[in-house]
A = this chain, B = another copy of it.
């Protein structure tokens, strides 16, 4: 049975490039919105050239239609598209759309219900609005890098582009909230997503130490600020992550190690004592596991009903029976790209019983839906052919 979709009937213009804005539009597309990706004639989104070729582009642009349009020469066509649209998403440098005559203040005159979502590195206004916002740079400037890595060593970025991805999810969230508002009032609005905001926002819990106590959060490596044991430990063939720093957990471990006295020792008996003596606690954990395999360590802690797991790589994740390719979570899916074949991509992380987001179709070839979309706007085949010849589309 074909499922229904949450955003049926919603039209989205996607002027985005690379990750954040295109991915936001893909989320809306998987939810059932009709998304038209608008690209530069003959060139297209830079991401078409990103590695892995086809795969990168497919992931961030599945489920969309695509047209080409020169925004300078094709002003009339663009304004017709805007008139029909519910949502516009773009991630040009702030001011670029206004310079083209397409700022929100102009567009709302022809479509007062338009939801205009702009994604940028540092937001639409203020002293840094013109600064480019690459994810690693944002990770550095928002504080994430300062709290990632081992104490006393060089800080390091998170390997995943979390600020880009959070921008995309928050953009999609903002758009759907704006649709709710519009359904009550008929009014559209402007949404201003800054990638730097995401970096600050994702640190809400660690920021709080500064906000409440003016203590600057430090790098803790794989440890915790709030308790021990906890974090990454060494087995003879790799690492395992352990989470269970409470007193009851420590008692179970002490007994299972045949050292029940550790649960009563002044240096270790409660969370505060163990946190103070974290280095000694971590050494006990590492000494215990040094001659065991990761599998043995995990089995031991799971036997005590404590939380413990391996450090998996992308291949192990893909093959996991619970959350991998064939697992219940269905976190990988695929699209069939004409001339390329089946391309596997990462799936949505929202699962819904009635309107589950699903990949609708392969990403568009450059200009694939020019005729279809322009014909719907009322242009004749002869006009569309002329647009093509004039480099407008």
Binding site for B on A (CB under 8 A): 4-9, 19, 23, 27, 31, 50-56, 59-60, 104, 122-123, 125-128, 131-132, 134, 136-137, 139-150, 154-162, 165-166, 169-174, 176-181, 183-185, 187, 189-194, 196-198, 200-214, 216-217, 219-222, 224-226, 230-232, 239-241, 243, 307-318, 321-323, 327-329, 331-332, 343-355, 357
Contact = CB atoms under 8 A, between A and B. Distances in A.
A251 to B, nearest CB: 18
A304 to B, nearest CB: 13
A154 B239 contact: yes
* Nearest 3 A/B pairs, CB to CB: A147-B159, A126-B328, A55-B212
A193 B351 contact: yes
A145 B200 CA distance: 21
A357 B179 CA distance: 14
A209 B225 CA distance: 34
Contact of A160 (B194, B206, B353): B206
A58 to B, nearest CB: 8
A252 to B, nearest CB: 15
A123 to B, nearest CB: 6
A211 B166 contact: no
A31 B162 CA distance: 23
Given A128-B322, A201-B165, A222-B136, A193 B349 contact: yes
A346 B156 contact: no
A122 B324 CA distance: 12
